[in-house]
């Protein structure tokens, strides 16, 4: 399981009342492609702008291969 930070931007970026315009979404997933799919599914009002490896690590049970979403404190 790898840790990814998916950078998201609102679809309606032109609307000045839509805040936040961007956000970081942390995902534990086996691949970057899977992390993007999970981030898109969990945040339909946002679009993916980019992805990077994250220094944060999800706390998953041993052997759990499913994707995991978590928030940084």
Q: What is the pLDDT of residue 59?
A: 52
Q: What is the pLDDT of residue 70?
A: 53
> In the chain, which residues have pLDDT < 50?
60-66, 71-73
Q: What is the pLDDT of residue 34?
A: 96
* Residue 66 to residue 13: CA distance in whole angstroms: 32
């Amino acid at each position: 399981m790898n840790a990814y930070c998916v950078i998201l931007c609102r679809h309606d970026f032109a609307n000045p009342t839509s805040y936040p315009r961007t956000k970081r979404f942390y995902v534990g997933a086996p691949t970057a492609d899977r992390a993007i799919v999970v981030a898109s599914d969990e945040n339909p009002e946002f679009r993916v702008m980019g992805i990077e490896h994250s220094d944060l690590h999800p706390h998953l049970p041993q052997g759990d291969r499913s994707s995991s979403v978590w928030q940084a404190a």
